[in-house]
A and B are shown apart, each in its own frame.
Chain A
Amino acid sequence: MKTDIPEQAQLRANEAELIKRVCNGDREAFYELVQPYERLVYATAISVVKNPADAEEVAQEAVLKAFSNLASFRAESKFSTWMLQITYNEARMRLRKAHSHLYESIDDPRQSEDGDYWPKDFADWRPIPSELFETDEVRQAIQNATNSLRAIYREVFVLRDVQNLSTKETATILGISEVAVKIRLLRARLQMRDTLAPGIDGCGVRGQPYQKVRPW
């Protein structure tokens, strides 16, 4: 096993101390433990359930579950990885309950990453004006493009590219191999590029209606 770099070792030591305090009944320590990962927990939830209100509920449920199961946490993985695994499972469970009647199940085997993806032929990428870069409109366009990805690609894309987690961590959280993470990330990135690139402003997912995602 690779040795942690000093900051990571320090972080783990701090977290271990907080966990001990929580197990001794210090509730404040739990908030201190979870607080740095709030955004990650929320992003993981929304990558599965898509909708902000559901994502918040999932995040809360996951955090509460982590709280009541903290004694069972073994420091073999990072606390954040464990926390995100719980979040991901919680989000999937919610989706299963909510969409059990829908045609496209989240476990649909047709959602496979087999086969090559052929990127569309655009001459180049139209530069995004810098004043638009930070606007809600642009963020919304990217969110829409992200939401147009199929679940298995979206989850990997959010953890790897939006939240900058490693391939290994992403694989652990999602319960898939590192090879699968790489294959899905490739597909997600190419499809995001096709969705946001010039010349086309809609998603090209087969079997889904045309969706405009680029408002500018």
Chain B
Amino acid sequence: MSTIEISCLEVWREISNFLDDEVSSEMRERMEAHFKECQHCKAVLDGTRNVVGLVGDGQLFQMPHGFNKRLYKKIQGAT
């Protein structure tokens, strides 16, 4: 049985859920079939996945130097 086609707009709406593995198996199948055919949506998928991979190490925002010490001092001085 062939999968039901899906439009680019529908793919974009679900692309984030797709990356988080939060789409139904039927939707996943339809989207995967679409990515095989549609270069634009495949590029959107890859780029979006790259974004998530780039920022996901939690290191994006470096705490200012001495942050912990100053925080510790504040707690010491708290009433």
- Residues of A bordering B, CB below 8 Å: 27, 30-31, 34-35, 38-39, 42-43, 46, 52-53, 55-56, 59-60, 63-64, 67-68, 116-119, 121-125, 128, 139, 142-143, 146, 157-158, 161-164, 182, 185-186, 189-190, 192-193, 196-197
Please name the 5 residue pairs, one residue from A and one from B, whose CB atoms are nearest each other, closest first.
Answer: A186-B16, A193-B47, A192-B51, A125-B47, A119-B44
Would you give the 0/1 interface string for B44-65, flagging 1 where the beta carbon is closer than 8 Å to chain A? Answer: 1011101110111011111110
Interface membership of B9, Cβ < 8 A: yes
B70 within 8 A of A: yes
A-B contacts at CB below 8 angstroms, number: 123
A88 → B minimal CB distance (Å): 15
Interchain CB contact under 8 A, B13 and A186: yes
Task: Count residues of chain B with CB under 8 A from any CB of chain A.
Answer: 37
Assuming the contacts A27-B75, A64-B78, A67-B75, asked whether A121 and B61 have C-beta atoms less than 8 A apart, the reply is no
Nearest opposing residue in chain B for A194, CB measure: B47
Q: Does B58 lie within 8 Å of A193, measured CB to CB?
A: no
CA distance A185 to B51 in the complex (A): 12
Beta-carbon nearest neighbor of A143 in chain B? B60
B63 contact from A39, A121, A124, A163, Cβ within 8 A: A39
Residues of B within 8 A of A (CB): 9, 12-13, 15-17, 19, 22, 39-40, 43-44, 46-48, 50-52, 54-56, 58-64, 67-68, 70-72, 74-76, 78
Q: Are B75 and A52 in contact (CB under 8 A)?
A: no
Q: A46-B61, A189-B16 are in contact. Are A116 and B9 (CB under 8 A)?
A: yes
CA distance A198 to B26 in the complex (A): 32
Chain B residues near A123 (CB, 8 Å)? 39, 43
The distance from the CB of B74 to the nearest CB of chain A, in whole angstroms, is 5
Quick one: given A68-B78, A161-B52, are A190 and B61 in contact (CB under 8 Å)? Answer: no
Task: Name A43's contact: one of B19, B39, B50, B61 (CB within 8 Å).
Answer: B61
B63 engages A42 (CB within 8 Å): yes
How close is B7's CB to chain A, nearest CB, in angstroms? Answer: 11
Which residues of chain B are near A43, meaning CB under 8 Å? 58, 60-61
Jot down 17 A-B pairs with beta carbons below 8 A, ordered by A: A42-B67, A43-B61, A52-B64, A53-B64, A55-B61, A56-B63, A56-B67, A60-B70, A63-B74, A64-B74, A116-B9, A116-B12, A122-B47, A182-B22, A189-B48, A189-B51, A192-B48
Known contacts A68-B78, A142-B54, A185-B16; A162/B47 CB under 8 A = no
Q: How far is the CB of B17 from chain A (nearest CB, A)?
A: 7
CA distance A121 to B15 in the complex (A): 15
- B39's closest neighbor in chain A, by CB? A123
Provide the residues of chain B in CB contact with A56, threshold 8 Å: 63-64, 67, 70
